[in-house]
Amino acid sequence: MDIAKTIEEVRKMRYSTPGKIALVPTMGALHEGHLSLVEEGYKHADHVIVYIFVNPTQFAPHEDFDAYPRSIDDDLAKLKKVGVKHIFLPNIDEIYPADGIPCEVDVANLNGILEGEFRPHFFGGVCRVLTKMFNIVQPHFAVMGQKDYQQLQIVTAMVEDMCMPMRVIAAPTKREDDGLAMSSRNVYLNDKERRQSTGIFKALQQAKHMIEVGGETDPEVVESAMNDIISTHHFDSIDYATIRHPRTLQPIDCIEPKLSGGVVGLIAAHMGKTRLIDNMIFGSNQ
């Protein structure tokens, strides 16, 4: 495995590697969801570069930057097993030099809502680090997970609107057998919380059934059912459980079954000290 630690090293790695390059951005603590992004990368590109960087600018001071799970040796072993040969593992100073003058990258219509309302630092930090990483590595593709649906829409919009010469590829959400979306933060859940946490998937499944089988068109009726299911699973609080337009992420008046791309159900809720998010597309094939 070739591990680049500096911008100079990763550029050298990237330009001495012929063919198409897919970049898989991660914050480490890798699970099968991340490995599925690698697999997707190899469908489109000759080489996959994975970066591992816990990005400080997307965490608010009260959030879990220090506690965020870190397991570099384990991560590298997992990547080796799925055939990844190119890793970028920068330290914080390499990406955010102390004498750098910070720039903001703002996808204005999408940054302030949903996740952006509850984590105001989040998308500014994500867009900033990804702009840096995309410019550093200059890949043909970046592979990102649908689990972080709003992040995927924002990064896709950023790449398109800023005419970055690359394409964002969306990879489906990998789930545990009981439906819980895989996430690095799932390790925070104790056994009881882990069992209750399936409430989010169950709420999304119920919404899917109401829309696709029951023909429900009123978003408020579906949102109310999702909230009820999450509440019965003893979540401590719900940040949102909502039905939105799949690209603009704006609220909709009516769930129009023929709407191209369907609608998206998005949930963020707190189970103990763990904040979980998930989403599902409904009605896209009708």
Ligand X SMILES: Nc1ncnc2c1ncn2[C@@H]1O[C@H](COP(=O)(O)OP(=O)(O)OP(=O)(O)O)[C@@H](O)[C@H]1O
Ligand Y SMILES: CC(C)(CO)[C@@H](O)C(=O)[O-]
Give the residue numbers annotated as catalytic, written as ranges: 34
Q: Using the rule CB under 6 A, which residue among 58, 146, 153, 197 binds ligand Y?
A: 58
Q: What is the DSSP string of 234-252?
A: T-SEEEEEEEE-TTT--B-
Q: Say if residues 56 and 92 touch (Cβ distance below 8 Å).
A: yes
Q: Say if residues 21 and 56 touch (Cβ distance below 8 Å).
A: no
By the rule CB under 6 A, 33 interacts with ligand X: yes
84 binds, among ligand X, ligand Y, ligand BAL, none (CB under 5 to 8 A by kind): none
Nearer to ligand Y, 28 or 283 (CB): 28
Q: Which two tokens stand for residue 118?
A: 């509850």
State the Cα–Cα distance between residues 280 and 262, nearest whole angstrom. 10
Q: Using the rule CB under 6 A, which residue among 47, 119, 132, 147 binds ligand X?
A: 147
Beta carbon of residue 127, minimum distance to ligand Y (angstroms, whole number): 9
State the Cα–Cα distance between residues 106 and 53, nearest whole angstrom. 21
Q: Please, which residues have CB within 8 angstroms of residue 204's CB and are 6 or more apart in sequence? A: 226, 265, 267, 278, 279, 280
Beta carbon of residue 253, minimum distance to ligand X (angstroms, whole number): 29
Contact set for ligand BAL, span 22-51 (CB under 6 A): 27
By the rule CB under 6 A, 239 interacts with ligand BAL: no
Contact set for ligand X, span 83-102 (CB under 6 A): none
Q: Using the rule CB under 6 A, which residue among 174, 207, 246, 267 binds ligand X?
A: 174
Scanning 88-96, 99-107, 166-174, 253-261 for contacts with ligand X by CB under 6 A, the matching segment is 166-174
Specify the length of the chain in residues: 286
The helix (run of H) or strand (run of E) holding residue 116 is helix 115-118
Residue 183 has phi, psi (to 5 degrees) of -160, 145
Nearer to ligand BAL, 66 or 99 (CB): 66
Residues near ligand Y (CB under 6 A) are 25-27, 55, 58, 126, 129-130, 148, 151
